[in-house]
A and B are shown apart, each in its own frame.
Chain A
Amino acid sequence: MKRKIRSLALAAGVLSILASNVFAQEMLQIKGSDTLINLVQRLAEEYMEKNPEKYIAVTGGGSGTGIAALINGKCDIANASRLMKSKEVAQATDNGVEVNRVVIAMDGLSVITNGNSPVTQLTVDEIGKIFRGETTNWSEVGGPNMSITLYGRQSNSGTFVFFRDAILKGDYSQKMNRMNGNAQIVEAIKQDRSGIGYVGVGYVKEATGLNVLKVASRAGEVYASPLNSADVKSGKYPIARPLNQYINGTPVGAVKDFIKFELSEEGQKIVEDEGFFQIPNEYDEFNKKSGL
């Protein structure tokens, strides 16, 4: 009996030491955008390698999911490929969450078609018509006589909302396939000669079998590619967008430390490595105002 008690006490002791170790580590919860997940995961890995005592968990689910988690106090940082809606900001305020935004990278949101498709450039207006379901055949935009198959994201996606608000300025065609994430759209377009879709530029950098379309803001303007970093930064590529992280209040402690790493030269190099673009100077200023 005595021995049993002793071994129990020992086990409890070991457990409590283990537990206290786990809790001693600062645990950051990051949640949200599918576009940002690979990038932020990579940033977190590099950061944890340099700071072994820190621990960061990065999960996806879509910008909407991340923002909802921040509002409900379920995460420290919300990745978002779109801006928060005023309704969401109001909800956050109601819950005592003071919304603060940081820009960590630039994205040239890429419109893609199958590598065998002859269509390699479109205007913003043409893209809008295609995704609103007004243009339904490739022959109307200089392609073969073949119906267009649309691939987009689900409504919890920031990319879904951004693309709708910035390009469509109307509702998506009800016939658009609603895919689970960027990677699934890339896979679908690779297999479908009639397909067109939109994904973050980080997902097309190394993909083969795709056309990454050149886009002009209107007919007669120059067509620019999202793969060209200068065009994305200068805004010549018309579907460029900032990729954001939302936090509660002025960043302090572990949150601040990690975001500082993301914005550092080293962090921004990882951003380029993952196929996205470094933040331009205007957003440097913006981030400083957010307390960094």
Chain B
Amino acid sequence: MQVSIAMNKKRSWISTQLKEKLIHDFFFINGIISVIVLLGIFALLVFTSIPAFSEINIKEFLLGLEWNPTSYVKEVYGIVPMIVSTLMVALGALIIAIPLGVGTAAYLSDVARPRTREIAKPIIEILAGIPSVVIGFLGIVLVGPILAKIFGTHNGLNALNGSILLAVMALPTIISISEDALINVSDSYYKASLALGATKWQTVIKVKIPAALSGIIAACMLGMGRAIGETMTVLMATGCAPAMPESILGPVRTLTSSIAIELGEVAYNTTHYYALFALGLVLFIITFLVNMTSDIILHKYEKVNR
């Protein structure tokens, strides 16, 4: 009898051990999969891009001012106008979205009454669920004509239109994550600041936002990532003329829209095909740099904060 109990105990101990190990392995595999996928994508982009440069001069690719792989006369592959366009639209979107987003987050976390917050937050999050085609459509029929009227231009298909739409798309991310960061700031900071005689406004601006800055920066970077990678909206609303953009009120053509436009018709395994993967690689590197910069900023900030 006693022996059997001991055996049972031993068995259950082994099975617990086994379970522990299985669970451990399961989470390890989950963790490693995303790393493998990322490396796989990077490797694929690199290896599919390389053949492009057997025919394209890499200097011409990086510094060229004209992109026309289906030219009637001579194919040219220069990505500068697209990079300028991409950065223009994304930075424009951030300039619009950050003040609005952080302001809204501060309002929701510190000013709004709980009931208002309960209603407002889900509504803002629904905004994130609107498909990008719908936003692009609004850009064509609503934002475009309004911009044309305000600025007296011939049409509203320009970088500013794209920026406004991308700002709308980035807002839910920025608001939601910034608000979480603000709410997570320890209550003692808030009370201490008030006790020292600061007003509520001063407390929010000078204490809470700096304390939550890491979360807010992360939110803005995620928003920027979305803005750089978004395709359909900019494809529909920015005119997509491949020329070097002249102003924020002129048409632009981003890296993403070029890939989207040309990948559908390109013949496999041609220089043009490989060049489009090279564009994808450039896009990948840009987003990687954005993320790394934000990481460096965060770490610096954490050190200062300590």
Contact = CB atoms under 8 A, between A and B. Distances in A.
Most-contacted residue by chain B among A88, A170, A174, A184 (CB, 10 A) = A174
A178 B241 CA distance: 6
Contact of A169 (B72, B141, B144): B72
Given A65-B265, A68-B267, A154-B261, A187 B140 contact: yes
B197 interface: no
Given A178-B253, A188-B155, A193-B154, A170 B72 contact: yes
Contacts of A88: 267
Interface string B42-73: 00000000000000000000000010101111
B243 A174 contact: yes
B148 interface: yes
Contacts of B155: 149, 177, 188, 191-192, 195
Given A149-B154, A188-B157, A180 B236 contact: yes
B145 A175 contact: no
B102 to A, nearest CB: 34
A147 B152 CA distance: 13
B241 A176 contact: yes
A267 B244 CA distance: 46
Contacts of A87: 267
B265 A171 contact: no
A264 interface: no
Contact of B148 (A64, A154, A165, A191): A191
B239 interface: yes
B157 A177 contact: yes
Nearest to B267: A91
Interface string A152-193: 001110000100110011110111111110001001100111
B261 A155 contact: yes
Contacts of A195: 154-155
Contact of A177 (B141, B148, B251, B267): B251
A226 interface: no
B264 interface: yes
A62 interface: yes
B240 interface: yes
Contacts of B71: 171
A64 B154 contact: no
Given A168-B72, A177-B240, A178-B240, A192 B154 contact: yes
B235 interface: yes
Q: Which 6 A-B pairs have the closest CB atoms?
A: A64-B265, A174-B243, A156-B265, A178-B240, A177-B239, A194-B154
Interface of B: 66, 68, 70-73, 140-141, 144-145, 148, 154-155, 157, 235-236, 239-244, 251, 253, 261-262, 264-267
27 contacts: A61-B264, A62-B265, A64-B264, A65-B264, A87-B267, A88-B267, A147-B154, A149-B155, A155-B261, A156-B261, A161-B70, A170-B72, A171-B73, A174-B241, A175-B243, A177-B239, A177-B241, A177-B251, A178-B241, A179-B240, A184-B140, A187-B140, A188-B155, A188-B157, A191-B145, A191-B155, A195-B155
Interface of A: 61-62, 64-65, 67-68, 71, 87-88, 91, 147, 149, 154-156, 161, 164-165, 168-171, 173-180, 184, 187-188, 191-195
Given A170-B72, A171-B71, A176-B241, 7 more contacts: A154-B261, A156-B265, A170-B73, A171-B72, A177-B155, A177-B239, A177-B241
